[in-house]
Structure 1
Amino acid sequence: MEAFKVRELRHTDIDALLAFEIHNREWFESHIDARDPAFYSVQGVTEHIDGYLSDFADGTWHPLVIEDATERIVGRANLKSIHAPEGEAQVGYRIDQHLCGQGLATLALRHLIQQAQARWQLRQLVAYVFKENMGSRKVLGRCGFVLEQPAENAAVGGEYRFVLAL
């Protein structure tokens, strides 16, 4: 596997993040809920990054990107809805369609687990995955997450809840 690096999202990532999201839009929307069309613009991504970094400063979000050897963004990973008093957060990640199956999602999720423990002292991580998203379900299992139950509000073909005790 070529060299990949996981790092925190920065304000300077606007163009690279927009390119990544546009390039993978159709792929992502086949696995997760679609973003508002306004997101797919310099202004939309700028506002997105500003919001994530504000939430990071507040301690409720930890946004990361994955870069290849040329510093091109090829994935994203987040600790979201960090709730320090309960010691819990949700995880999420998205990987470039053409790099799936190369271990990047596992790399990203292991980095999130490490950050959850070392930086945030969390005790539990939760992931919600659509039933049909077998790739993400395998990654979660590989990293120790256990299927807890379908989400309470899940319709047929809805989300499953995976949990990892830290």
Structure 2
Amino acid sequence: MDTFTIRELKSTDAQALLAFETRNREWFESHIDARDPSFYTWQGVAEHIEGYLSGFALGTWHPFVIEDSSERIVGRANLKGIDPSTRSAEVGYRIGRDACGKGLATQALKHLIEEAQGRWQLTQLVAYVFKDNVGSRKVLGRCGFVLEQPSSNEASEAECRFVRGLVPDPNAR
């Protein structure tokens, strides 16, 4: 059985992250919006990482990578838009095509929930998913997220909004 590790993104991850994103580009673009082509260069990924780590230092992002037993990046997971005033954040994750079906998205999302409750003391998480992304919708449901019905003037034809309430960990760091 494969073992996987979830750890914080590091500035030294540029080459490994570029390889992961390039290897899975077509797969991801079939499920989510395409990235700008300039992202798929060493400089593009290095700037991407720098932006995420700057956000982490400011307390607005918490980026993670998922590695297999060979320390190869096979997925990503992020808390983004962390807002201490509303005690909320958005979750995002992407699992490489070769690593799908192994429970990694669920494991990653559970990790994000734990970090949101423990480290960040958040009370709500939000996820946006394309309506036809059945796999992510199942993962969100499995992890306690509930589909929020949009008001008539907010209805998006392509995306669904899922929410999950949290109880912050009183013994957190």
After TM superposition, the score normalised by the length of structure 2 is: 0.93
- Counterpart of 2:160 in structure 1: which amino acid? Y
Aligned counterparts of 1:48 and 1:150: Cα–Cα separation in 2: 31
Q: How does 1:64-75 map to 2 (within 5 A)?
A: 64-75=64-75
Partner of 1:92: 92
Size of the alignment, in residue pairs?
164
Q: Percent identity?
A: 70
CA distances 1:52-78 after superposition (whole Å, capped 9, x unpaired): 000000000000000000100000000
Aligned residue for 1:45?
Answer: 45
Supply the AA of the counterpart residue of 2:50.
D
Deviation at 1:149, TM superposition (A): 2.0
Query: Which position in structure 2 is the counterpart of 1:28?
Result: 28
Asked if the contact 1:105/1:139 (under 8 Å) is kept, the reply is: yes
Question: What's 2:82 paired with?
Answer: 82
Letter paired with 2:156: A
Q: Look up the equivalent residue of 1:140 and give its one-letter code.
A: L
Q: Secondary structure at the match of 2:24?
A: helix
What's 1:154 paired with?
Answer: 156
Do the aligned residues in 2 keep the contact of 1:150 with 1:159 (CA within 8 Å)?
no
Deviation at 1:98, TM superposition (A): 1.4
What letter corresponds to residue 37 of structure 1 in structure 2?
Answer: P
Letter in 2 for 1:90: E
Deviations 1:99-132 (A, max 9, x none): 1111000000000000000000000000000000
- Cα drift, residue 153 of structure 1: 5.4
Q: 1:9 is aligned with what amino acid?
A: L
| Separation in structure 2 between the aligned mates of residue 79 and residue 149 of structure 1, nearest angstrom | 22
Whole-angstrom distance in 2 between the partners of 1:150 and 1:135: 21
Aligned CA RMSD, in angstroms, stands at 1.0
Q: CA deviation at 1:150?
A: 4.5
| 2:60 paired residue number | 60
The CA distance in 1 between the partners of 2:160 and 2:23, in whole Å, is 27
Unmatched 5+ residue regions in structure 1?
A: none
- Which stretches in structure 2 are left out of the alignment for 5+ residues? 167-173
8 Å Cα contact 1:127/1:161 also seen in 2: yes
